């Protein structure tokens, strides 16, 4: 009897602890005091009061283009920094006084196209940029041409992207970088490498420019199969200072090289955006790290939440395909997601994931489909060649 009581005691204590633990992760919030904090708002770009004042001023004069673009640009910066798509929505709202693109001022139209690019609405972005660039006197809008070249490149339309690159004022480093990037994607590797190295050797190149030029060089070497050169270039970028894009690209490179533990180390200080958590989950799974279960569970949760919107699996097709392929080990689903993804965006990583999913599914028609797509774009990528 005594032991039974001990057992009951233990059972009750266990249940109590379990209940108490559940209380921490509880769904309903039942505040008891007025000063209880129930939500911490996302960090503001500047003073929080300033944000609010800008919103108020814009509400009073919604058609003040200068003010509207200032507010929108501020939110776009926040979206890029935090990876939080809500800010892109707020930025679009700041431009709502011009629903008709035909009569929107130049700077409003450019910003709208940039936001569409951020939201992966590439066709809309291209249409708006072309509309803007067709206006008289706007031929010299380098920023618009550069954005257009970038969007067309993401869509795998390299020849059209070249044309946009050439329209950028020739004196700017952007023009040569823009053209070198396309050349590298097409496999004109030696020329592109020389071009990047010349630009980097020039004096007085500001650190951010140096950063993205070196990243482009690293990606070039990676696609060309020069592992040591790519590795060195990525490490050069990250030595310049924190760079989320480069950190993710390097992590993908390390995962591809079966060095997942190093990928985890590269990402350890990055903010936990969706793209970062995805890589942590993948690298953690491959490295069998202690934190893998947590990151996998979190990523699965985020995907489930995002997919409450039916179109989400299209917008985040690449990421969801990567997760399905490596973590869920579901090649059929990965293939379906990757196929939906390459219908919209065709960066090397999109095609690589498609090829990986096709190979993992073992379906000849899918492999053939990936091969044809790669050929039609004219992409040079030895990683993909090895799969097809």
Partner 1 sequence: MPCSDALRALVAVALLVGTGIAGAHKASDSYLQVTAAPGQLDVRWDIALRDLDVALDLDSDADGKLTWGEVRAAWPRIEAYALRRLAIEGCPLAAVGRGLERRNDGAYAVLLLRSSCTLAEGAPRISYGLFADVDPTHRGIAKVQRAGQQIALSVLEPSAGMTSAERTSVTAASGVAAASSPATSPADARSPTTSAHSRWEFLLEGVRHILTGYDHVLFLLCLLIPSVMRRAPGGWQPVERLGQAVWPVVGIVSAFTVAHSITLGLAALKLVSLTPAFIEPAIAATIVLAAFDNVLPIFPVRRVVVTFFFGLIHGFGFAGVLAELNLPRADFAWALLQFNLGLEVGQLVIVAVATSVLFGVRRWRGYAKVVIGAGSAVAMAIGVVWLIERIGNVSILPF
Which range binds partner 1 by CB under 8 A, 82-90, 149-157, 162-170, 218-226? 82-90
Structure tokens belonging to residue 306: 């995002």
Per-residue exposure over 207-217, b if at least 16 CB sit within 10 Å of its own CB, e if not: eebbbebbbbb
- Scan residues 304-333 and list those touching partner 1 (CB under 8 A): 305-306, 308-310
Of 309, 338, 310, 307, nearest to 322 by C-alpha is 338
> Shortest gap between Cβ of 9 and partner 1 (angstroms)?
10
Mask 276-295, x = binds partner 1 (CB under 8 A)?
-x---------------xx-
> Shortest gap between Cβ of 21 and partner 1 (angstroms)?
7
> Shortest gap between Cβ of 265 and partner 1 (angstroms)?
18
Residues 6+ away with beta carbon under 8 Å from 315: 119, 120
d(CA 110, CA 130): 10
Mask 111-130, x = binds partner 1 (CB under 8 A)?
--------x-----------
| Binding status of residue 30 toward partner 1 by CB under 8 A | yes
d(CA 338, CA 369): 12
- Scan residues 335-354 and list those touching partner 1 (CB under 8 A): none
In degrees rounded to 5, what are phi and psi of residue 314?
A: -80, -45
Q: In terms of CB distance, is 54 or 168 closer to partner 1? A: 54
Q: In terms of CB distance, is 52 or 166 closer to partner 1? A: 52
Q: In terms of CB distance, is 239 or 245 closer to partner 1? A: 245
Figure out which of the listed residues 3, 28, 100, 136 binds partner 1, where binding follows CB under 8 A: 28
- What's the Rg (C-alpha) of the chain? 24
d(CA 319, CA 305): 14
| Secondary structure letter of residue 257 according to DSSP | T
**Residue located via tokens 């507010």:** 71
Q: Are 279 and 251 in contact (CB under 8 A)?
A: yes
| Binding status of residue 6 toward partner 1 by CB under 8 A | no
| Binding status of residue 106 toward partner 1 by CB under 8 A | no
> Shortest gap between Cβ of 3 and partner 1 (angstroms)?
11
Binding residues with partner 1: total (CB under 8 A): 68
d(CA 253, CA 237): 14
| Binding status of residue 258 toward partner 1 by CB under 8 A | no
Which range binds partner 1 by CB under 8 A, 34-42, 213-221, 227-235, 282-290? 34-42
d(CA 41, CA 53): 17
Figure out which of the listed residues 3, 27, 102, 206 binds partner 1, where binding follows CB under 8 A: 27
| Binding status of residue 24 toward partner 1 by CB under 8 A | yes
Residue ranges of E strands in 275-372: none
Residues 6+ away with beta carbon under 8 Å from 77: 45
> Shortest gap between Cβ of 331 and partner 1 (angstroms)?
21
d(CA 166, CA 347): 21
Which range binds partner 1 by CB under 8 A, 88-96, 150-158, 187-195, 255-263? 88-96
Sign (positive or negative) of CA dihedral 205, 196, 218, 82 = positive
Structure tokens belonging to residue 259: 């060095």
| Binding status of residue 170 toward partner 1 by CB under 8 A | no
> Shortest gap between Cβ of 34 and partner 1 (angstroms)?
3
d(CA 298, CA 278): 9
Q: Are 107 and 69 in contact (CB under 8 A)?
A: yes
| Binding status of residue 90 toward partner 1 by CB under 8 A | yes
| Secondary structure letter of residue 323 according to DSSP | I
- Scan residues 48-67 and list those touching partner 1 (CB under 8 A): 48-49, 52, 55
For partner 1, the binding residues (CB under 8 A) are 4-5, 7-8, 11-12, 15-16, 18-44, 48-49, 52, 55, 82-86, 88-90, 92-93, 96, 119, 271-274, 277, 293-294, 297-298, 300-302, 305-306, 308-310
């Amino acid at each position: 009897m005594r032991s039974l009581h001990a057992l009951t005691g233990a059972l009750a204590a266990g249940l109590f602890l379990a209940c108490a633990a559940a209380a921490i992760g509880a769904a309903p919030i039942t505040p008891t005091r007025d000063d209880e904090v129930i939500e911490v708002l996302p960090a503001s770009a500047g003073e929080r009061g300033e944000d609010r004042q800008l919103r108020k001023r814009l509400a009073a004069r919604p058609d003040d283009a200068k003010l509207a673009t200032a507010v929108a640009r501020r939110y776009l910066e926040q979206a890029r920094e935090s990876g939080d798509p809500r800010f892109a929505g707020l930025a679009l709202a700041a431009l709502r006084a011009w629903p008709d693109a035909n009569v929107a001022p130049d700077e409003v139209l450019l910003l709208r196209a940039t936001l569409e690019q951020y939201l992966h609405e590439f066709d809309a972005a291209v249409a708006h940029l072309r509309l803007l660039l067709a206006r008289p006197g706007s031929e010299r809008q380098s920023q618009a041409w550069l954005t257009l070249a970038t969007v067309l490149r993401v869509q795998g339309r390299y020849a059209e992207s070249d044309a946009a690159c050439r329209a950028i004022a020739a004196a700017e480093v952007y023009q040569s970088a823009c053209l070198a990037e396309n050349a590298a994607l097409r496999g004109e590797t030696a020329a592109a490498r020389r071009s990047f190295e010349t630009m980097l050797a020039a004096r007085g190149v500001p650190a951010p420019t140096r950063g993205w030029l070196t990243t482009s060089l690293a990606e070039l070497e990676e696609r060309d199969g020069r592992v040591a050169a790519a590795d060195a270039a990525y490490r050069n970028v990250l030595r310049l200072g924190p760079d989320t894009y480069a950190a993710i690209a390097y992590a993908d490179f390390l995962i591809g090289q079966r060095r997942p533990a190093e990928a985890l180390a590269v990402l350890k200080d990055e903010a936990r955006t969706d793209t970062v958590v995805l890589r942590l989950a993948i690298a953690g799974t491959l490295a069998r790290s202690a934190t893998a279960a947590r990151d996998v569970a979190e990523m699965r949760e985020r995907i489930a939440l995002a997919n409450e919107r039916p179109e989400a699996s299209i917008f985040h097709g690449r990421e969801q395909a990567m997760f399905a392929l490596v973590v869920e080990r579901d090649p059929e689903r990965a293939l379906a997601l990757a196929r939906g993804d390459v219908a919209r965006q065709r960066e090397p990583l999109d095609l690589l994931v498609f090829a990986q999913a096709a190979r993992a599914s073992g379906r000849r028609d899918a492999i053939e489909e990936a091969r044809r797509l790669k050929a039609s774009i004219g992409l040079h990528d030895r990683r993909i060649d090895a799969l097809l």
